[in-house]
Amino acid sequence: MTSPAYDVVAIGNAIVDILAQCDDAFLTGEGMTKGAMQLVFSPEAADALYAKMGPGREVSGGSAANTLAGIAALGGRAAFIGQVADDQLGEVFAHDIRAAGVRFDTPARAGAPTTGRCLIFVTPDGQRTMNTFLGASHYLPAAALDRELIAAAAYLYIEGYLWDPEEPRAAMRAAIDVARAAGRKIAFTASAEFVIDRHRADFHALIDGGMIDLIFANEAEAMSLTETTDLEAAIAALAPKVETLIVTLSEKGALAVRDGTRVTVPAAPVTQVVDTTGAGDLFAAGFLHGQAQGWDLQRSLSLGALCAAEIISHFGARPLADMKALAARA
């Protein structure tokens, strides 16, 4: 097996995040559940909601793309595979993620639908409420995969959010086969409970079939995967099936289990929670970067906690601090 040219190549939703601040009354008036993510099913509905937003910021987003931007900021080698449309937002996504230091070569798709977007409303307490129009991101074909790129990365990172539509689901299955044949590791982020509810059988088939090496999940996702209300029972059920299980515990820190050994870290301190967008994504960035550098579980978890604390201390899901300096503290 050749040495990897990249630390992580990820497949995920190619979405432009549009972030704006609002108050709780706005969320109530629009019928939104605070802190949740809901899908917007038409570009017209997305445009109507966008028109109601206050001044905002546009940045390439999507869970896996956020993770890769974090890895690149830490000094890692990252590449992204995801589908945008041949439109203005597609150009915004491509320019932004490349400017972050992430390789992105997937050809833009002609015609409708438009590039995906996530309208994120951030309340004064830092909670983010997301409204996602997936658009072109759900039309990623297996033909768009760069198989040599996948085989050249130490880790293939796949995003649960993208498992819904048939076309990218087939692409991710093909990518797993390529990574497996090349002897690479496969990391999976559970993404959200509603995703697990729809695809629990598929996810268990991947896990039970030995196709996943690392699982990232928060407490609720771990329990949803195992259909239990007891976190310890969920950990006991999942940990023996994968090389590494990582569970984030919000303000209680995080844990990892490997070969029966359990390691925990506290949450890194943060003066004020400004915006929780991307906290789990950046935790995964820190952990994967540490693992790609050959660090042990404790140090990799610590870097994940530091990255999550950095991202929730300011607006948006892109790091503002010197992340290489942050890595030196882990």
Q: What is the pLDDT of residues 49-93, one digit of tens each?
A: 989 998 888 888 889 999 999 999 999 999 999 999 999 999 999
Q: Up-side HSE of residue 22: CA atoms within 13 Å toward CB?
A: 27
Q: Scan for tokens 């309208």, then name that residue.
A: 119
Q: What is the pLDDT of residue 281?
A: 95
Q: Scan for tokens 């497949």, then name that residue.
A: 11
Residue 12: is it exposed, middle or buried by C-beta count within 10 angstroms (0-12/13-18/19+)? buried
Sheet holding 56-61, edge to edge: 37-39, 128-133, 116-122, 15-21, 56-61
Task: Among 235-239, 307-311, 326-330, name the one with the lowest average pLDDT.
Answer: 326-330
Q: Kindly tell me if the per-residue pLDDT of 221 is higher than 90.
A: yes
Q: What is the pLDDT of residue 1?
A: 66
Q: What is the pLDDT of residue 220?
A: 94
CA gap 180, 182 in Å, rounded = 5
Residue 127 identity (one-letter amino acid) = Q
Q: What is the pLDDT of residue 176?
A: 97
Mean per-residue pLDDT for 300-308? 97
CB pairs under 8 A, 24+ apart, for 49-55? 49/119, 49/131, 50/18, 50/117, 50/119, 52/26, 53/18, 53/20, 53/22, 53/119, 53/121, 54/20, 54/21, 54/22, 55/20
